[in-house]
Amino acid sequence: MRVLLVEDDEDLRFGVAAALRAAGLAVDEASDLPRADEALFVTAYDCAVFDRMLPSGDAAAYVDGLRRAGRGVPVLFLTARDTVADRVEGFASGGDDYLVKPFAVPELVARVRSLCRRAAVVRPPVHRVGDLEIDTARRHVRRTGVLLTLTSREFAVLEVLAARSDQAVSRAELIESCWDEMAEPQSNVLEVLISQLRRKLGDPPLIHTVRGVGSRLAAPDGAR
């Protein structure tokens, strides 16, 4: 899942971005509305986090413009403005959630994850592919009932493949969803990760290479 973080306070932006990345999310950063606008134009995000008041303007007015243009990316506002009227204004402008500063970072991460899941079309909380079970809310993966240990990046890739189970997902799509612009993989990093994921999932194989296209998560022949 990929998130856009728009915050002009460099220290806060760095800390929040680090926490979101540690939780397995891909994060692109912007310090003002023009940079946010450019990022939203070229990338499809699962969620956007906006500081409400930026030097370049009120993010609420900007999000209202997004909504009028038919852009539906879920938005979380961060703000020091904590009155009921401020919160109502944020929701009325098209915001989906509102978190008042100072905030607890684990709560922010949980809220962003919730918005990312809401953005997906028909993305169930638990995916089942054969004897593999992927609980996206708890971030648990089990095969034949045995809990597996995956890294945050491995889980992110598996989650994308599970959401499109039985379909080929291209290398470009996996990179777009699971890496941000600060950590885009070079060379064969994705291929190495897929190989590690196959090993952890065990036999019979569930991740299949579709030559010339990408990777596909599917139950073994004859399994459901």
Looking at the structure, tell me whether residues 81 and 168 fall in a common domain.
Answer: no
Percent of residues, the chain, with pLDDT higher than 70 = 91
pTM: 0.60
pLDDT value at residue 122: 43
The DSSP-derived string for 48-84 is: EEEESEETTEEHHHHHHHHHHTT----EEEEES--SH
Q: Can you tell me the distance from the alpha carbon of 98 to that of 24, in angstroms, rounded to the nearest whole number?
A: 22
Looking at the structure, tell me whether residues 131 and 102 fall in a common domain.
Answer: no
Q: Where is pLDDT greater, at 138 or 165?
A: 165
Please identify, among 97, 119, 141, the residue that sits at the C-terminal boundary of a domain. Answer: 119
pLDDT in tens, 19-55: 999 888 889 999 999 999 999 888 888 899 999 889 8
Structural domain range at position 179: 126-217
Looking at the structure, tell me whether residues 56 and 93 fall in a common domain.
Answer: yes
* pLDDT of 10 over the 70 cut: yes
Q: Residue 53: beta bridge partners?
A: 58
Question: Does the residue 197 lie in any domain?
Answer: yes
Q: Which DSSP state fits 114?
A: H
pLDDT in tens, 63-116: 988 888 777 789 999 988 777 787 788 888 888 898 888 889 999 999 998 888
Looking at the structure, tell me whether residues 188 and 82 fall in a common domain.
Answer: no
Please identify, among 119, 151, 175, the residue that sits at the C-terminal boundary of a domain. Answer: 119
Looking at the structure, tell me whether residues 11 and 112 fall in a common domain.
Answer: yes
